[in-house]
């Protein structure tokens, strides 16, 4: 145990996801020893982030305004909404430059184990957005795991009666991967989703 | 890229040792989404740590007072000083409960590559402490790597003329380890340092 505030810093750092006790200690001493004001800068950003960051009132993405950059961007295609679990997923899809429509961030996925049901997700807000006749397609881009699949199934059932086109991201072999290292489920999906090329 | 302060937080977190861009993003969103005041608490501790933590005027260990807990503790054996590179090493040795003397924290090790010579370490302060005739033994506990060994050799040369007993921590096989997985240098040291048992 260290004295007072050093131990407090190690404890607080150790509560962060993916930071174990050894890393926490290493980061704490790094911050103690750096000459510049890195600790103060981090402290300041941490204060600001909770004050300034909110969630877009339309799509639920993180933003510092009432609406996020993407919802405010008039060049985006307003006929398609891509539904994701988290803001991180928005960033991941934006990096592909494949999609120029709008997003809807659910804030998680259905998970009975963690006590997250449809009511804890921003599904009601999604339904409200779909009242706009401009929207022609909903792309469901939840994670390809148990919770994500359950959420996708639930959404498909809810949205089907609306008569809008609904699609899911393709599952299959990761590009650059090795076929022999793919798990059976992924390989199975790759077979299922095979495409005619001639 | 995220908007404004979220990206700033990710950038600041990513500057910490052992935190890559993905972990930084994960921690940032964790802090954004936790209900309680964890971000504020961390911010506050970060501010306090730089204000309150200083280095013990005697041994160089981290403390919130002029002298650290160990230097102030009258029950410690004041005839032996254990020389270590960092405050972290003091904690590691304290956990063994093997040593009840005092410490001296050098603040690093000699490393020509990083431009750290003897003058950047707290060696002058150590020499000053050894002016006290009470001190009978110096235990050199620098890391068993290139820099640590160089520092130990330098210290041994500096301290030899003083006529104090100087010792080094033993090198050898780690307890609970497997002999076949030990590297050659460690195994060589274990041979060198073998002890008669009958």
- pTM score of the predicted model: 0.73
- Per the listing, tokens 């730089």 go with B50
CATH number at residue B66: 3.40.1360.10
A25: phi then psi, degrees, rounded to nearest 5: -65, -45
Condensed to tens digits (0 to 9), the pLDDT of residues B107-164 reads 999 998 989 999 999 999 999 999 999 999 999 999 888 899 999 999 999 999 998 9
The number of distinct structural domains making up chain B is 2
Q: To which H or E segment does residue B81 belong?
A: strand B80-84
Task: Give the angle A27-A30-A33 at the CA atoms, nearest 5°.
Answer: 150
Query: How far is Cα B155 from Cα B168, in angstroms, rounded to an integer?
Result: 11
Closest by Cβ to B15, choosing from A38, A43, A88: A38
Which residues 92-121 on chain B approach chain A with CB closer than 8 angstroms? none
Residue B189 within any structural domain of the chain: no
Question: Which pLDDT score is estimated for B198?
Answer: 65
Is the CB of residue B2 less than 8 Å away from at least one CB of chain A?
Answer: yes
Condensed to tens digits (0 to 9), the pLDDT of residues A131-143 reads 999 999 999 999 8
**A191–chain B nearest CA distance, Å:** 31
Q: In 3-state terms, what secondary structure has residue B127?
A: helix
Do B64 and B135 belong to one domain? Answer: yes
Nearest CA in chain B to A19: B19
Do A48 and A63 belong to one domain? Answer: no
Rounded mean pLDDT, A82-99: 89
Do A131 and A120 belong to one domain? Answer: yes
CATH number at residue A11: 1.10.8.420
Q: Which two tokens stand for residue A54?
A: 């909110």
Q: In 3-state terms, what secondary structure has residue A161?
A: helix
Do B12 and B103 belong to one domain? Answer: no
- A28 vs B contacts (CB less than 8 Å): 49
Query: How far is Cα B51 from Cα B30, in angstroms, rounded to an integer?
Result: 27
Nearest CA in chain B to A34: B50
Residue A81 within any structural domain of the chain: yes
In this structure, are residues A94 and A69 in contact, taking their beta carbons and an 8 Å threshold?
no
CA distances from A49 to A106, B25, B33 (A): 21, 13, 11
CB count within 10 Å of CB A8 equals 18
How many beta-carbon contacts under 8 Å exist across A and B?
140
Query: How far is Cα B56 from Cα B65, in angstroms, rounded to an integer?
Result: 7
- A23 vs B contacts (CB less than 8 Å): 18
DSSP state of B183: -
Strands A102-105 and A62-63: unpaired
Do A103 and A43 belong to one domain? Answer: no
Do A75 and A61 belong to one domain? Answer: yes
Residue A151 has pLDDT above 70, yes or no: yes
Q: Which two tokens stand for residue B16?
A: 């910490």
Q: To which H or E segment does residue B170 belong?
A: none
Do B139 and B156 belong to one domain? Answer: yes
Q: Which of A166, A107, A109, A108 is nearest to A140 (CA)?
A: A166
pLDDT over 90 for what percent of chain B? 52
DSSP state of A174: P
Residue A195 within any structural domain of the chain: no
Residue B186 within any structural domain of the chain: no
The model's confidence at residue B4, banded by pLDDT at 50, 70 and 90, is confident
Do A91 and A36 belong to one domain? Answer: no
What ipTM goes with this model?
0.74
Residue B176 within any structural domain of the chain: no
The model's confidence at residue B36, banded by pLDDT at 50, 70 and 90, is low
CA dihedral of residues A172, A177, A178, A179 (deg, nearest 10): 10
Is the CB of residue B38 less than 8 Å away from at least one CB of chain A?
Answer: yes
Query: How far is Cα B64 from Cα B44, in angstroms, rounded to an integer?
Result: 16
Residue A166 has pLDDT above 80, yes or no: yes
Residue A171 has pLDDT above 90, yes or no: no
Nearest CA in chain A to B70: A3
Condensed to tens digits (0 to 9), the pLDDT of residues B41-96 reads 899 898 888 888 889 999 999 998 999 999 999 999 999 999 999 998 998 888 88
Do A91 and A23 belong to one domain? Answer: no
Residue A177 has pLDDT above 70, yes or no: yes
Closest by Cβ to A46, choosing from B26, B42, B48: B42
- A27 vs B contacts (CB less than 8 Å): 16-19
A155: phi then psi, degrees, rounded to nearest 5: -65, -40
Residue A185 within any structural domain of the chain: no
Residue B162 within any structural domain of the chain: yes
In this structure, are residues B20 and A19 in contact, taking their beta carbons and an 8 Å threshold?
no
Is the CB of residue A7 less than 8 Å away from at least one CB of chain B?
Answer: no
The model's confidence at residue B37, banded by pLDDT at 50, 70 and 90, is confident
Do B68 and B101 belong to one domain? Answer: yes
Do B124 and B62 belong to one domain? Answer: yes
Q: Last residue of a domain, which of A14, A35, A52?
A: A52
B39: phi then psi, degrees, rounded to nearest 5: -65, -45
Residue B158 within any structural domain of the chain: yes
Do B114 and B64 belong to one domain? Answer: yes
Closest by Cβ to B46, choosing from A16, A42, A88: A42
In this structure, are residues B138 and B166 in contact, taking their beta carbons and an 8 Å threshold?
yes
Residue A96 has pLDDT above 90, yes or no: no
Is the CB of residue B35 less than 8 Å away from at least one CB of chain A?
Answer: no
Q: Is A1 exposed, middle or buried (0-12, 13-18, 19+ CB in 10 A)?
A: exposed
- A85 vs B contacts (CB less than 8 Å): none
Q: In 3-state terms, what secondary structure has residue B62?
A: strand
- B40 vs A contacts (CB less than 8 Å): 46-47, 50
Q: Which of A129, A171, A173, A122 is nearest to A151 (CA)?
A: A122
Domain span at A46: 4-52
Nearest CA in chain B to A35: B50
């Amino acid at each position: 145990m260290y004295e007072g505030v050093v131990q407090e810093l190690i404890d607080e750092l150790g509560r962060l996801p993916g930071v174990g006790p050894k890393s926490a200690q290493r980061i704490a001493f790094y911050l103690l020893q750096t000459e510049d004001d890195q600790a103060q800068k981090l402290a300041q950003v941490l204060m600001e982030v909770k004050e300034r960051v909110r969630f877009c009132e339309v799509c639920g993405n993180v933003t510092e305004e009432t609406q996020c950059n993407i919802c405010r961007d008039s060049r985006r295609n307003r006929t398609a909404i891509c539904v994701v679990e988290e803001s991180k997923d928005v960033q991941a899809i934006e990096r592909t430059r494949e999609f120029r429509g709008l997003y809807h961030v659910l804030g998680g996925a259905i998970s009975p184990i963690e006590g997250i049901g449809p009511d804890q997700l921003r599904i009601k807000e999604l339904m409200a957005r779909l009242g706009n006749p401009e929207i022609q397609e909903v792309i469901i881009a939840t994670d390809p795991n148990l919770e994500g699949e359950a959420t996708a199934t639930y959404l498909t059932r809810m949205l089907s009666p609306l008569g809008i086109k609904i699609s899911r991201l393709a599952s299959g072999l990761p590009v650059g991967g090795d076929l022999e290292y793919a798990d059976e489920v992924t390989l199975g999906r790759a077979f299922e989703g095979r495409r005619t090329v001639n």
